[in-house]
Amino acid sequence: MSEKNVSNEARKSLCPEGVEAGSTKKGRQMKEKRKNRLRVLALATAMAITAGGLVSCSNSDEAASEEELTIGFVVHVIGNPFIQQIIDAAEMAAADLGVTIKVTGPAGAEGDAQLVAVQNIAASGVDGIATSVPSASMVNGLNEIIESGIPIVQFNGLGVGVNAPYVGEKSVASGRILGQMVLDKIGGTSAKGKVIVGNCYPGFPVLENRQKGVLESLSQAAGIKVVGPSDVKVDAAANFAAWQGLLAANSDALAMVGLCAPDVESIGKVNIAAKNTKTIGGGYDLTVGNLEALANGSAHISLGQTPFIQGYLPVYMLVDSIRKKIAINKAGFVDAGTEIVTATSVTEPFDLPALTFADLQAMATSKEKTRSYYEPVVQGYIKNWQENLKPISDESS
């Protein structure tokens, strides 16, 4: 039995009724100590209450600074190179537009933790919120925030049912592109053999859509046997280990196709480690590691989803709609475009200037070069976002 419980029981049995602490000198001292302790508690409580008293003053201050907008920007995971590219772009938009931006998000991707982060940032008094929506359980909570008058723009991850526009890729269509490119590299519709497909986050709607598109394209070749889709995990080390295991178990695979940012880099490393393999590697995102894998020939295709537009456009839409009093409380879709990259070619969307692979690598490490490259998009596609706002059904078309 615990010390606490044993001593309580003992005290109950030993302490006769009617004997009160405080009836002696020592008791009076104890009473004094007790009072002191209560004073400490009272002081802490008073600090809290006093600070609370400032609430009304603060509200008036907030009213006085109506012009200074603050935008909350909530991502589904902190510490991911691709997500960081989106955050960088959002911060560039805030700097261009002269607004304050507060960036937050959970350390591990989990919908409820992200919703709590969105609710916290809403309660902190921001004027608008851009958030990715990786989970259906976020939908009701986000709609409550929208109903309370705070506009929201979704990016990167779409929440079906959220009354807010979404900025992102056409996920099924981009999956089809990736699947088609992989298929072309392994022999087209006459190809025969295994293709390993990995999903780092089963259940994540955008990834499920990509997967659907990839499988759709691969199904054109009757001789292709798809291995998976296997859970290849988000964490870089676990992701590498998963791909390594998959290739070891299927050493005759024609291709490995990943759906998430860490995959191309991992597939490249696995191919290098396997030495004699001729497995084609394909996946998503243009992080420094992924571009390096394409450059050294250990991976072959990576599709970008324009993190610049996914970060910049939501902040622009929020600030523009708040300043111009445009209601954005209904679902809609603004295509962020798809970049198609191999070691020998770079295809950018929105009639952007042609890029070499070396240019792309330089941009991946330089915010200034990225901002400068996307200037025509900022002045055109992004500025005219209202014209480019399509029905949400376009996202999965």
- Contacts of other proteins in 291-310 (CB under 8 A): none
Segment contacting other proteins by CB under 8 A, of 138-146, 250-258, 333-341, 342-350: 138-146
Segment contacting other proteins by CB under 8 A, of 50-58, 167-175, 276-284, 301-309: 50-58
Q: Quick check: 276 binds other proteins (CB under 8 A)?
A: no
Segment contacting other proteins by CB under 8 A, of 74-82, 218-226, 287-295, 341-349: 74-82
Query: Cα–Cα distance between 37 and 41 in angstroms, integer?
Result: 6
Among 28, 39, 68, 124, binds other proteins (CB under 8 A): 124
What is the CA 233 to chain-centroid distance, rounded?
A: 15
> Which residues, 83 to 122, sit near other proteins by CB under 8 A?
87, 102-113, 115-117, 119-121
Pairing of strands 224-231, 193-199: parallel
CB of 28 to other proteins, least distance (A): 12
Query: Cα–Cα distance between 248 and 380 in angstroms, integer?
Result: 48
Instruction: Count the Cβ atoms, other than its own, within 10 Å of residue 81.
Output: 18
Query: Cα–Cα distance between 75 and 200 in angstroms, integer?
Result: 17
Cβ partners under 8 Å of residue 19, min gap 6: none
Nearest to other proteins of 116, 226 (CB atom): 116
Beta partners for residue 104, in sequence order: 74
Tokens of 376: 């025509």
Q: Quick check: 137 binds other proteins (CB under 8 A)?
A: yes
- Residue entry with tokens 């010390």: 3
CB of 309 to other proteins, least distance (A): 20
Q: Quick check: 327 binds other proteins (CB under 8 A)?
A: no
Q: Exposed/middle/buried for 39, CB within 10 Å: 0-12, 13-18, 19+?
A: exposed
Tokens of 130: 């851009």
Segment contacting other proteins by CB under 8 A, of 44-52, 251-259, 310-318, 363-371: 44-52
- Residue entry with tokens 């309370």: 148
Segment contacting other proteins by CB under 8 A, of 27-35, 177-185, 269-277, 387-395: 27-35
Nearest to other proteins of 89, 117 (CB atom): 117
Q: Quick check: 58 binds other proteins (CB under 8 A)?
A: yes
Q: Quick check: 11 binds other proteins (CB under 8 A)?
A: yes
> Are the beta carbons of 229 and 260 closer than 8 angstroms?
no
The dihedrals phi and psi of 2, each to the nearest 5 degrees, come to -70, 155
CB of 119 to other proteins, least distance (A): 6
> Are the beta carbons of 264 and 293 closer than 8 angstroms?
yes
Segment contacting other proteins by CB under 8 A, of 197-205, 254-262, 324-332, 385-393: 197-205
Q: Quick check: 33 binds other proteins (CB under 8 A)?
A: yes
Tokens of 361: 């690598």
CB of 86 to other proteins, least distance (A): 12
Nearest to other proteins of 205, 304 (CB atom): 205
Q: Is 169 helix (H, G, I), strand (E, B) or coil?
A: coil
Nearest to other proteins of 54, 326 (CB atom): 54
Query: Cα–Cα distance between 336 and 316 in angstroms, integer?
Result: 13
Q: Quick check: 30 binds other proteins (CB under 8 A)?
A: yes
Give 124's DSSP letter: T
- Count of residues that bind other proteins according to CB under 8 A: 75
Q: Quick check: 47 binds other proteins (CB under 8 A)?
A: yes
Nearest to other proteins of 108, 297 (CB atom): 108
The dihedrals phi and psi of 215, each to the nearest 5 degrees, come to -65, -35
Tokens of 328: 């954005």
Q: Quick check: 314 binds other proteins (CB under 8 A)?
A: no
Q: Give the count of alpha carbons within 13 A of 168, CB side only.
A: 34
Segment contacting other proteins by CB under 8 A, of 134-142, 180-188, 251-259, 309-317: 134-142
Nearest to other proteins of 203, 245 (CB atom): 203
